Amino acid sequence: MIASIDSNFCTGCEECVISCPDIFELNLTTYLAAVKVSPVPADLEGSVKSVASECPVSAIKITA
């Protein structure tokens, strides 16, 4: 599974970074979230799906 962040929607609220720091990080140049591990390890797929569904601006996209 691949997670990505749509920077056109991300507001940098850091919810994904706080909830799943093994996958997401804050880009200190843009102050937007970024994916730091791709593909997502199988044991973290559930967490990433949960974080994506909870993103307040729906900026996290998941593909097979």
Burial of residue 42 (number of CB atoms within 10 Å: 0-12, 13-18, 19+): exposed
Helices (H) and strands (E) in the chain, counts: 2, 4
Q: Which tens digit of pLDDT belongs to each residue from 1-55?
A: 999 999 999 999 999 999 999 999 999 999 999 999 999 999 999 999 999 999 9
pTM for the structure as a whole: 0.93
Domain 2-63 belongs in CATH node 3.10.350.10:
no
Q: Which residue has the tokens 């559930």?
A: 46
Q: Where are the domains of the chain?
A: 2-63
The answer to whether the peptide bond before residue 21 is cis (omega within 30 degrees of 0) is no
